[in-house]
Amino acid sequence: MEKDTSAGFEKTDIYIEKTIDTGFDVVNNPIMNKVLDLGKFLWKEKFQMG
């Protein structure tokens, strides 16, 4: 495999790293988990009731 030496490689690498880190932070955030759980509950109730 060849090493990427393109001009934007470093920025792309940083972007990917930050995106992954942010994703893990969102998944491991207890408040976000509660909000998502509430959203799933409301979504489910909307379609079961209507």
Contacts (Cβ under 8 Å, ≥6 apart) of 32: 26
One DSSP character per residue, 9-41 reads HHHHHHHHHHHHHHHHHHHT-HHHHHHHHHHHH
pLDDT tens, 24-47? 888 888 998 899 899 999 999 888
With a cut of 80, say whether residue 1 has pLDDT above it.
no
- Mean residue pLDDT of the chain comes to 86
pTM reported for the whole predicted model: 0.49
Give pLDDT, residue 50. Answer: 55
For residue 49, the SS3 value is: helix
Contacts of residue 26, defined as CB under 8 A and 6 or more positions apart, other chains included, come to: 32
